[in-house]
Amino acid sequence: MNRVDPQFAGEIAGIRNAISRSNRTDYVTTYTEREFFNGKTTLERVLILRTRGCSWSYHSGCSMCGYWDDTNPEIGKAELENQVSAFLKEFPRGEVLKIFTSGSFFDPIEIDSGSQHEIIERVLEGYGHLIVESRPEYIHKVVGDLKRYGNRVQVAIGLESTDPDILKNSVNKNYDFDDFKKAATLLRENGVSVRTYLLLKPPFVTESEAVKDAIKSARDLAPYSDFISINPMNIQRGTLVEKMYREGNYRPPWLWSVVTVLQSLKGVGVPTVSLITASGKKRGSHNGHSCDRKFSEGIRKYSETLDYAYLDDLSCECKETWRNFVEVEEETGAPISEVVLND
């Protein structure tokens, strides 16, 4: 099956190419977050490197991905080395470091192969574990070298869904579940653990289809993954999803839906968390009610501890409105936009 619809890919490229890119050469940002990792609540440091950007974005890119505006096409080896040096000078050590690149760490066009390993070795002098992200197509070239770091390196792959129709016609991912399975299997056979991201509520699907897809996808991929992160959609600048949102044709998922997905995956056998960007805000997952803060907090605490009590304790009168929203969408067969709730 062809993984890309040229017309859809072209529309996404047109929107992406209209936004300006960065001319900076420093790293994008660094911050900390807590997560349940290696059997306990762990403080993790995140470093976002500024690179030339995801190679897939040079052709088209994913419908929800707005990382493009942080990237600078002029960035090469020297700039990346400077970014890592500046970061390590300020934050030389810690338990876990996540390096994100607005693309793929193992894409040799984005970060040349020599630099990839120099960076890994430099950061592992001070950090216990390193998590990096990559599309699956780059894995076969690097997996032999990754063996030497054993379980100190984890590779995260943004699969988003296992449904081929969603990957092609909603996300424009340009890879499929089989590609993921091959890469994940190769990594795990070589002692490298795999983290998988799933996107909750890609465009063009209803709330209930999104919930079902996230649950099914997590169950499908669990045998190939050591960790699952459910990422509810947040609206990023310069994306097809932002255009739909502005036109009133897209609403990010309800926090009720996030809770439902996580509760349904209780027995999935793989730690499953959800660190939500813009939680409770209009551009992120929200109930649109005064309970947004309580729900965001409950999901965050659950993701730090894997204690389901934080989810099971959540309740609010707006559950009825969420149920009605889901039902109306099912009846009309089409996603609907925001409904205004009074507290």
* Interface residues toward ligand SF4, by CB under 6 A: 54, 56-57, 61-62, 65, 67, 102-103, 135, 158
Which of residues 132 and 311 has its CB atom nearest to ligand SF4 in the complex? 132
Residue 252 DSSP class: P
Shortest approach of ligand SF4 to residue 274 CB, angstroms?
Answer: 17
Which of residues 172 and 285 has its CB atom nearest to ligand SF4 in the complex? 172
- Inter-residue contact 328 to 336 (CB < 8 Å): yes
Which of residues 103 and 288 has its CB atom nearest to ligand SF4 in the complex? 103
Q: Which residue has the tokens 């990096």?
A: 132
Shortest approach of ligand SF4 to residue 292 CB, angstroms?
Answer: 26
Helix (H, G, I), strand (E, B) or coil at 160: strand
Which of residues 62 and 258 has its CB atom nearest to ligand SF4 in the complex? 62
Shortest approach of ligand SF4 to residue 145 CB, angstroms?
Answer: 22
Strand 127-133, strand 227-232: pairing: unpaired
Shortest approach of ligand SF4 to residue 54 CB, angstroms?
Answer: 3
- Of how many residues is the chain composed? 343
Phi, psi (rounded to 5 degrees) for 309: -60, -35
Shortest approach of ligand SF4 to residue 50 CB, angstroms?
Answer: 13
Distances (CA, A) of 135 to 149, 184, 253, 301: 20, 11, 25, 29
Which of residues 57 and 161 has its CB atom nearest to ligand SF4 in the complex? 57
Which of left, alpha, beta for 284 (phi over 0: left; psi -120 to 50: alpha)?
A: beta
